[in-house]
Amino acid sequence: MKHIYLNLKRFDIPLEFGGVNRIAPIDQWGQYIIENVQDGLDAYDCSLVEFTLFFPELHLLDAIRSRREGSSLKIGSQGVFRQDTSVGGNFGAFTCGRTANAMKAAGCTAVLIGHCEERKDKLGIMQEAGKEDTDAVNRILNQEVKAAIEAGLDVLYCIGENAQEQDHWQEVLEKQVRIGLEGADLSKVTIAYEPIWAIGPGKTPPDAPYIQKIAAYIKEISGGLDVVYGGGLKTDNAKMLASIPEIDGGLIALTRFSGEIGYYPDEYLEIIRTYLDK
């Protein structure tokens, strides 16, 4: 099974507010995306490839409503809270918490957990308190993973090393996998590898041998879980990534990195065509 994920981050914010949304008014943005990609995915056998889009919470209901019956698209949220409601227990006192049960009730089937931006945020909160404990971040993410799976959501769990961690990347990735997935139902988990040190303007992305080495190691320490490339699946690296047997897909964010930077549905479909060689 191949997995193509799309993280729409906060690409809904209009240009006049500093965002990159050039495609639709914000109240129509989620609907526009679904309506402009789902028909193009009918060319692919959904038993062989899975398409999942992670939306900002504001747009989930519109996106889910816009899925036609039989659509191959799955819709997910960009994270969940580490605690949740339960029958006979807490009925929902989680102000500001995006609980997994709430996302499941809304119609989501998947969730993105442990993205490098989420890890950075959690570590930043600890640093404000004079602490720097990446193991604690992994333990918090483990609670989120378990909450998501308990609610019936599939999990895309992100791991990766930053520039300061490159010289001991095996230790970093091993802890992220071991602690972050401890006690979780691994049949509900796919791993995304993010080479954090290589993400961003002007940075050199890893080559195929490096990605293959990392993916093979992740499969070894995770018991053979599917591994997708989270450093950005795009048109110019799609064929290279497709040639790596240890890579089972990719995580797309931006589709255009120069000029009118942003996300464009037709370019999303082009990335998929290139990766799947259609």
Please give the chain's pLDDT, 278 residues, in tens.
Answer: 999 999 999 999 999 999 999 999 999 999 999 999 999 999 999 999 999 999 999 999 999 999 999 899 999 999 999 999 999 999 989 999 999 999 999 999 999 999 999 999 999 999 999 999 999 999 999 999 999 999 999 999 999 999 999 999 999 999 999 999 999 999 999 999 999 999 987 889 999 999 999 999 999 999 999 999 999 999 999 999 999 999 999 999 999 999 999 999 999 999 999 999 85
DSSP per residue over 87-119, as a string?
TTS--S--TT---HHHHHHHT--EEEE--HHHH
Q: 193 has which bridge partners?
A: 159, 229
Which bin fits 244, alpha (ψ -120 to 50), beta or left (φ > 0)?
beta
176/191 Cα distance (integer angstroms)? 11
Residue 21 per-residue DSSP state: B
Buried b / exposed e along 83-97 (16+ C-beta atoms within 10 A): ebbeeeeeeeebeee
Which domains are seen in the chain, by residue range?
2-276 (3.20.20.70)
| Tokens of residue 166, six digits | 């490159």
Helix (H) or strand (E) holding 149: helix 134-150
Q: In this structure, what are the phi and psi dihedrals at residue 270, rounded to the nearest 5 degrees?
A: -65, -40
The answer to whether 29 and 66 have CB atoms below 8 angstroms apart is no
Predicted confidence at residue 202, as pLDDT, reads 81
Helix (H) or strand (E) holding 17: none
Residue 67 per-residue DSSP state: P
53/7 Cα distance (integer angstroms)? 6
**Tally of CB atoms within 10 A around 20:** 18
108/101 Cα distance (integer angstroms)? 10
Cβ partners under 8 Å of residue 54, min gap 6: 5, 6, 7, 8, 76, 77, 78, 110, 111, 112, 156
Catalytic positions: 115, 194
